Amino acid sequence: MQNIRNIAIIAHVDHGKTTLVDKILYFTNQFRENENAGELILDNNDLERERGITIVSKNVSVTYKGVKINIIDTPGHADFGGEVERVLKMADGVVLLVDAFEGPMPQTRFVTGKALGLGIKPIVVVNKVDKENCRPDEVYENVFDLFFNLGATEEQLDFPVLYGSSKQGWMSTDWKNRTEDFTDLLEAIIKYIPAPKVSEGTLQMQVTSLDYSTFVGRIAIGRVARGTIKENQPVSLVKRDGKVVKSRVKELQVFEGLGRIKVPEVHAGDICAVVGIEGFDIGDTIADFENPEQLEVIAIDEPTMNMLFTINNSPFFGKEGKLVTSRNIYDRLQKELEKNLALRVVPTESPDAWLVYGRGILHLSVLIETMRREGYELQVGQPQVIIKEIDGQKCEPIEELVVDVPSDVSGKVIELVTQRKGELLIMEARGDMQHLEFSIPSRGIIGLRNNVLTATAGEAVMAHRLKGYEPWKGTIPGRLAGVLISLDTGSTTAYSIDKLQDRGRFFVDPGVEVYEGQILGEHIRDNDLTINVTKGKQLTNMRASGSDDNVRIAPAIKFSLEECMEYIQADEYIEVTPQSIRLRKIYLTENERKQNAKKFQ
């Protein structure tokens, strides 16, 4: 029993968690000598690889000096905090990774607070000490202050610290003396992380994540808290509401390297996958058949934002996607609820629309992007923050925003954030960068990133996390400019776009099919303007020196899905299909927009 260690690797996004797991896998010889598994091995779905972030937590296991170490790689982004909260239940210790230059960031605080609250023992790794301008000693002090502010116990404050570079493949107790490998880190894990505590009693295992196989269906993954679970054993499944369902274990698997192997039984303290149990949800307890006892249900933070999901009813619906009906979309959202704990789906008055609640723009955009890649067509409305009434007062979610910018443009950033009801709390110099910390309403962050990146020529690094609910801060100005709206359905012409370029910036290229009511670009003024971009040049057999100019068109602005979500207003939708993302007005004709204008004021 003493030969197991369960650790979760936690950090802010981009501080090097997945790279660290890669190097541990290589160091413990999980691959053949002639096998090159590449980098970021655990980021195995397309979206994770494209964005360079972890979205779903993964389990692997390595063996070092006869000790089995179960490693859980967690997402670093606060939008996927629901993932972190549930997998920490499987760990006895955490390895907290901190960048040697940036130090603890807002999301580091978020996941560390969760881990310390569960009484988990931390090991701190100051990563990327090979970077220029790194300040490992200061960062160590910052981490200590962070732990103290989060109410860590004396035992947790007495944490071991290692320095190194995951990319270069070394970790050491002294950052000035470089070692060759990861021996120091693995030794520290065995020495400081306790073996799983096992209490006497009958079987208890909480389902903390799930997997799916086309052969056997849904697979429950979790840690055996006490007792032993065996193949073919009859068990009770205790649901969140206390209801008990009788079931039987068909097969058991434990993690080994990157895969899983079949075993006849699993003892308390180890993490395993259970095949054959039907109808389970995350947070349910697999317990003894005759005397089932429930484990404490996983508590998940509330969502802070919602968006309207509805069927695609644009003139182009069904041209690109196969799954377009309300039944298709509803079934897909229900399926997502099974594994995405921080998500909620609420029906609306319309049978074709649902309010989907999530943690933030990124959390919801990953769901939409996944759906469109699976062949779904849908439309989504403007993201709205969730307003609560606390002690008779209207309250809204407030975020802690951290921005690192070059000193010469810090003034522009402060101006942009204060326009959106942000308050500057801390301003300090870090090398040639300025470190700014604000308190800002969540609504103020929607659409802020684009403006800040434009104002700082792409140099700003932004991060934010939810702080709590505070009284309503008043109205925040929305988009400053109006939009250019298509008057007609047809194909855009270079001639028309060229003649209308002085009206604003376009989002579409020549030769693209558009429909009436579609948003084609941004107007230079604050009102919306309806334009015709399908008109071609009048061809005659007379030539005139003035009408034969070459057409010169500025490149169209291409928005990502998140940028679209931040850009649209209350009277607009994003149409999402497997091949296109289009912006449109909810009411497509000019007359309908005038009749319904009051709804959106």
Q: List, for residues 53-91, the tens digit of each pLDDT value.
A: 767 777 888 888 888 888 888 776 666 666 677 788 888
Instruction: Supply the CATH classification number for the domain 4-192.
Output: 3.40.50.300
- The answer to whether residue 45 scores a pLDDT higher than 70 is no
Mean pLDDT on 367-395: 90
Q: List every span in the chain annotated with CATH 3.30.70.240.
A: 389-471
Confirm whether residue 127 is marked as ligand binding.
Answer: yes
Confirm whether residue 14 is marked as ligand binding.
Answer: yes
Predicted local distance difference test score (pLDDT) of residue 586:
92
- The answer to whether residue 39 scores a pLDDT higher than 90 is no
Q: CA angle, corner 4, sides to 3 and 9, nearest 5?
A: 145
Listed ranges 149-158, 460-469, 484-493; the one with the highest mean pLDDT: 484-493
- The answer to whether residue 34 scores a pLDDT higher than 60 is no
Q: List every span in the chain annotated with CATH 3.40.50.300.
A: 4-192
CATH architecture group of domain 389-471:
2-Layer Sandwich (3.30)
Question: Greatest CA separation found in the chain?
Answer: 97
Dist. CA 601–CA 592, nearest whole Å = 15
Q: Which of 92-96, 297-301, 361-365 has the lowest mean pLDDT?
A: 297-301
Distances (CA, A) of 554 to 98, 481, 502, 504, 532: 43, 19, 11, 11, 18
Dist. CA 508–CA 519, nearest whole Å = 9
Confirm whether residue 167 is marked as ligand binding.
Answer: no
Listed ranges 95-99, 483-487, 561-565; the one with the highest mean pLDDT: 483-487
Confirm whether residue 173 is marked as ligand binding.
Answer: no
- Residue 529's SS3 state is strand
- Superfamily in which the 204-287 domain is placed by CATH: Translation factors (2.40.30.10)
Confirm whether residue 19 is marked as ligand binding.
Answer: yes
Predicted local distance difference test score (pLDDT) of residue 81:
66
- Residue 266's SS3 state is strand
Q: Extract the tokens encoding 102.
A: 């940036």
Query: 170 pLDDT band (50/70/90 cuts)?
Result: confident
Q: List every span in the chain annotated with CATH 2.40.30.10.
A: 204-287
| 4-11/67-73 β-pairing | parallel
Predicted local distance difference test score (pLDDT) of residue 508:
93
The pTM is what?
0.79
**With b meaning 16 or more CB within 10 Å and e meaning fewer, what string describes 315-345?**
ebbeeebebbebebbbebbeeeeebbbbbbe
Predicted local distance difference test score (pLDDT) of residue 598:
85
Confirm whether residue 130 is marked as ligand binding.
Answer: yes
Question: CB of 89 within 8 A of CB of 59?
Answer: no
Predicted local distance difference test score (pLDDT) of residue 333:
92
Say which CATH class 483-537+552-599 falls into.
Answer: mainly beta
Q: CA angle, corner 562, sides to 475 and 526, nearest 5?
A: 45
Mean pLDDT on 3-28: 80
Q: 309 pairs with which residues across the strands?
A: 354, 380
Confirm whether residue 129 is marked as ligand binding.
Answer: yes
Confirm whether residue 17 is marked as ligand binding.
Answer: yes
Dist. CA 135–CA 435, nearest whole Å = 15
Distances (CA, A) of 579 to 200, 319, 377, 510, 561: 56, 10, 10, 17, 12
Q: List every span in the chain annotated with CATH 2.40.50.250.
A: 483-537+552-599
Q: Extract the tokens encoding 380.
A: 């989504």
Dist. CA 264–CA 272, nearest whole Å = 11
Predicted local distance difference test score (pLDDT) of residue 36:
54
Q: Is 279 exposed, middle or buried (0-12, 13-18, 19+ CB in 10 A)?
A: exposed
Confirm whether residue 312 is marked as ligand binding.
Answer: no
Query: 363 pLDDT band (50/70/90 cuts)?
Result: confident
